[in-house]
Amino acid sequence: GVIFSSSCNGEICAWNLATKICTAKIKAHDGFVRVSGGETVQLWEPHRSSPLQTFSWGSDSVYCVRFNPAETSIFGAGLSGNSVALYDIRGNTPIRRVLMKMRTNAISWNPMQPINFTVASEDQNLYTYDMRKLSEALRVHKDFVNAVLDVDYSPTGKEFVAASFDGTLRFVLSCRFSADGRFVFSGSADMCLRVWKSEAAAALGPQSYRARLSLNYRKKLQEKYAHLPEIKRIERHHHVPKLIKKTQEKKRIMKEAAKRREDNRIAHSKPGKHPRVAERKKAIYREIQ
């Protein structure tokens, strides 16, 4: 297999995954490799020197763009005004936009549910939206302790991988799933590309018939007894660096303190003066049609 990478030195490299060797380099820029960065989104055809279409919404700069893999005429864009806009290339005007409290760094569409997409936000969370209703998020995904920089869905649509600027040894700047969902590719600030197994315990080499039967039997046992507390604890447990663990503990204490303040404010004020705001709506200012 082959994977392409772009870097801050202006080069685009093609890598052979089997040999770990760079097979081709394209020097085309003097700095960061970007695609139509600026205040517009431009749709290009490879053999033309000018864009086919240009889309814009005010004077906001565009940080990220991702096409819907199923509805190929629709794409989402993260803008500098802390907003996410949806466009349809069949028309000249954007469909709708949602204004968030912090900037969106990346967008990824669910390949199995084309109406849903997930955004990576600067507020350490990821938000999954239904493109038909942007007034609130379907899901809020929490666990990072710093800004989330990239997100990509598995081909199955059941899981996604996310990269964060979380202060560990290597700053992961981007991540992608392989086409078969078995591997994850990550690019980091230490100038390296890494290939990970999406399931750490999965075997890569050929297996005998008896080995496959044994693995399937163990997997069925895990699914059968997944509701037991001890099995659930072992399955969900994963080791994290000491710095991340301490930061997560501080974040949990701060969250509990904020909840206590909110409870006290509501308890000692006039009924209805301070209504509770759902977690799915806290990061959203308003939806713009």
Among residues 180, 204, 228, which one ends one of the domains? 204
> In this predicted structure, what is the pLDDT of residue 169?
47
pLDDT for residue 289 = 66
Does residue 191 share a domain with residue 258? Answer: no
Same domain for 194 and 225, yes or no, is no
Looking at the fold, whether 141 and 230 belong to one and the same domain comes out as no
Residue 166 domain flag: yes
**Tokens for 112?**
């199995």
Q: What is the DSSP letter of 48?
A: -
Residue 135: helix, strand or coil by DSSP? coil
Does residue 6 share a domain with residue 140? yes
Helix (H) / strand (E) element for 106: namely: strand 104-109
Distances, alpha carbon 143 to alpha carbons 232, 235, 237, 251, in Å: 18, 17, 13, 10
Q: Which residues are CB-contacts of 186 (< 8 A; sequence separation ≥ 6)?
A: 163, 172, 174, 175, 193, 194, 196
Do both 45 and 136 map to the same domain? yes
250 sits in which H/E element: helix 242-267
Do 6 and 92 lie in one domain? The reply is: yes
DSSP 137-157: -SEEEE--SS-EEEEEE-TTS
Q: Report pLDDT for 33.
A: 47
Q: How many domains does the chain have?
A: 2
Domain finish residue from 176, 204, 232: 204
Q: Which residues pair with 164 in a beta bridge?
A: 148
Do 47 and 160 lie in one domain? The reply is yes
Exposure string (b/e) for 85-98, b if CB count within 10 Å is 16 or more? bbbeeeeeebeebb
What's the pLDDT at 17? 83
Q: How far apart are CA 25 and CA 119, in angstroms?
A: 31
Q: How far is CA 121 from CA 8, 64, 100, 118, in A?
A: 22, 12, 9, 10
pLDDT averaged per 10 residues in sequence order, the chain, 289 residues: 76 82 72 57 74 77 87 87 87 82 91 91 91 89 87 88 72 77 83 83 85 91 90 83 86 93 91 86 79
Burial 208-244, CB ≥16 within 10 A → b, else e: eeeeeeeeeeeeeeeeeeeeeeeeeeeeeeeeeeeeb
Q: Rounded CA gap, 98 and 134, in Å?
A: 6
Q: Is residue 283 part of a domain?
A: no
CATH number at residue 165: 2.130.10.10
Final residue before a domain boundary, out of 204, 229, 261: 204
* Bridge partner residues of 117 (DSSP): 109, 129
Looking at the structure, do residues 267 and 142 belong to the same domain, yes or no?
no
Same domain, 248 and 106: no
Positive or negative: CA dihedral 107, 182, 115, 277: negative
Residues 116 and 33 in one domain: yes
Domain that holds residue 137: 2-204
Question: Residue 23 corresponds to which tokens in the numbers above?
Answer: 């097979």
- Sign of the alpha-carbon torsion through 111, 172, 122, 89: negative
Q: Confirm whether 13 is domain-assigned.
A: yes
Judged by phi (left if over 0) then psi (alpha if -120 to 50, else beta), residue 95 lies in: alpha
Is 289 part of a structural domain of the chain?
no
Same domain for 83 and 178, yes or no, is: yes
User: Does residue 157 sit in the same domain as residue 79?
Assistant: yes
Contact 94, 77 (CB under 8 A): no
211 within some domain: no
- Domain-embedded: residue 64: yes
Q: What is the pTM of this model?
A: 0.74
